[in-house]
Structure 1
Amino acid sequence: MEKRMMSTNELINHMKSKGITFNFISENEASKTLNKVNYYFKVTSYRSNFPKNESNKYENLDFAYLVDLASIDMQLREYLFDLSIDIEHGIKVLLLNLISNDVNEDGYSIVEDFKINYPNQYQRTLKYLEKNKYLHDMYKKHHNNISIWVFLEVMTFGTLSIFVDFYLKRKNTRSVRQIHNYLKFSKNIRNACAHSNPLLVNIFSDKEFLRRPSAPIKSAAKQMNIPMNYLQDLKINDLVSLFFLHKKIQSKKMSEHRYNQGKKILTRFHRHKDWYADNTKLNTFFKILDILIDYINVQ
């Protein structure tokens, strides 16, 4: 049965019927928020972090908490996406260095081999290059005989992930094998951030339960002093991969910058720490995030 579309006032009344209060943000201000700043589905998705009573109504949940978590989540996604971009750039630098210093590579045959093995990804990359208004001259100059340094520059993150697997079969090096082990998990975070999917939802829930974390993830978590039982949460598993890769790939200067950036996210969460004082899931998540942020700055 399809749900009936509701007006803003009806949505507010619906939230009130579910036990959500409007003590810190008035109903009038809430209406403005829903009409101009954020939409109902995204804001209310954060209610999954709060318990319900026997009457199936939320306890100690004000609309202001949801708006606050939406703001924190947006900043968190921006931060994690920055880490992902750093990783993407670092992988390309590492691959180009390996290929350029391999006497058996000429910079062109490897692209042809990739084309044979992954024709769809190859054509998709060339199509992107052709359609990109800022890079069209590069397409006209190189598309008939494209080199690895041009090809890597324009491939998407998804194609890069496939290329890592392709190169690992070609040259089974420790550095590329390590990227392979963690990239497939960290890209889940990258994709969620790129599509503005809320992260602070279903934290430590059965919906995101991972039965058997992989050995590389367990090894990384051990280095970070993160308890093994937390790895059964899918987001924690993927975040461990993201931060581990970033530390392996990025420079000390960039790590320091991302460390400082991450600490600001934690400060933002604690702005209204009294609102979440009894929320074990949220506090545990940000405690682990604090450990991850510290890890990228440890020498």
Structure 2
Amino acid sequence: MNRKKLTIAEQISDMHQKGITFHYTEEQDVSRFLKYNNYYFKLKSYGKNYDKYNSTEKKGQYLNLDFSYLQELSTLDMYLRKTIIAMALDIEHALKTQLLYDLSANDAEDGYSIVSKYLSADYMRVKSLHDKIGKSAATDLIQKRQNNDDCYALWEIVEVISFGEFIELYQLYYSLYPSKNNDFSSYLWSIKFLRNAAAHNNCLLNSLKAPYSISIHKTKDILFEISKIKTVSQKSREKWMANPVIHDFVILVYVYLRLIKSHGIKQSGIDNLHWLFNERMLKHKEYFQKNNTITESYNFVVKIVNYFCNKYRK
């Protein structure tokens, strides 16, 4: 059954009916927020982190949920998405730099053979390149190589393909030329999924409560790494690393701090993580004191972020 569209006044009325309170916000400010800052369908999704009454006359209404809490979660989500995108872009650039450096020191590979293997393994890969003509800043290069039997060097094709396509090429290279220290293959799909979610403005902080929409294959290396944090219990690891967003974000931070070699870029990333988790997320911590899901998930992630930042600072 289709739902009736609501005016902003009706959206506010709907929140009242759902038990959402307005202790910190005037109705005119709520209207302005819904008009200029965020839309109701997205904002109310953060309510999934809250319990509802199961009985009494309030059955179905939210328990301890104020409009300001939704506002704050949507704002923190925005900062988190921006952080993810910035870190993922730095990771992508560093991966390409590392791959091409390894290629330059590899006498067994000329840079063309690996690309030929990659393209010939799936005809859709060549089609994907041709489909970018007229839609990519690298159109001239693609057309030039199209007229030369799609013969690319590795240092050329990394400028053309998407991050997902690059991951496949990256994994192929290190499957043929293994590297104990430089192969981050097992982490990259988690980073891709998280980056795509952030880039498409998907909500990330609306899915903290189990059950989760998808199941994940936990990365053993990461579980072992965080097992070294004495203030994080095994029960906490098992619980929160089952959350897809938290699992993938932990991997993002871990790979970022291990992979990035530029001191300036790494320090900028660390500074932003510190500001977000140790300052901005605590600005209205009183909003969430009665919500165990939010406070426990925050405490889990902030311990890991601070541990990784201290361990891999250099």
Fold conserved (TM > 0.5)? yes
Structure-2 residue corresponding to 1:6: 6
Displacement of 1:126: 4.5
Structure-2 residue corresponding to 1:200: 205
Letter in 1 for 2:297: F
Displacement of 1:211: 7.3
Structure with more helix by fraction: 1
Displacement of 1:296: 3.0
Compare 89-98 and 249-258 and name the one that shifted more: 249-258
Displacement of 1:201: 1.1
Structure-1 residue corresponding to 2:15: 15
- Partners of 2:217 and 2:163 in 1: CA distance: 26
Letter in 2 for 1:296: C
- Partners of 1:195 and 1:170 in 2: CA distance: 34
Structure-2 residue corresponding to 1:254: 265
Give the secondary-structure state (helix, strand or coil) at the position aligned to 2:282. helix
Distance 1:249 1:157, change over 3 A: same
Aligned alpha-carbon RMSD (Å): 2.2
- Matched residue pairs, number? 297
- Partners of 2:229 and 2:126 in 1: CA distance: 37
- Partners of 1:179 and 1:204 in 2: CA distance: 29
Structure-2 residue corresponding to 1:149: 155
- Partners of 2:36 and 2:87 in 1: CA distance: 30
- Partners of 1:198 and 1:13 in 2: CA distance: 23
1:112 to 113, 116, 134: 116
Displacement of 1:196: 0.8
2:84 to 75, 80, 85: 80
Letter in 1 for 2:67: F
Structure 2: 5+ residue runs without aligned partners?
Answer: none
Structure 1: 5+ residue runs without aligned partners?
Answer: none
Identity, % of aligned positions: 26
- Partners of 2:206 and 2:66 in 1: CA distance: 16
Structure-2 residue corresponding to 1:296: 309
- Partners of 1:209 and 1:123 in 2: CA distance: 31
Give the secondary-structure state (helix, strand or coil) at the position aligned to 1:99. helix
Q: Do the aligned partners of 2:49 and 2:209 also contact (CA within 8 Å) in 1?
A: no
Give the secondary-structure state (helix, strand or coil) at the position aligned to 1:174. coil
Distance 1:191 1:290, change over 3 A: same
Superposed CA deviations along residues 106-142 of structure 1, whole A, max 9, x for unmatched, are 22222111110133234323432x3246433433444
1:65 lines up with 2:69 in the alignment: yes
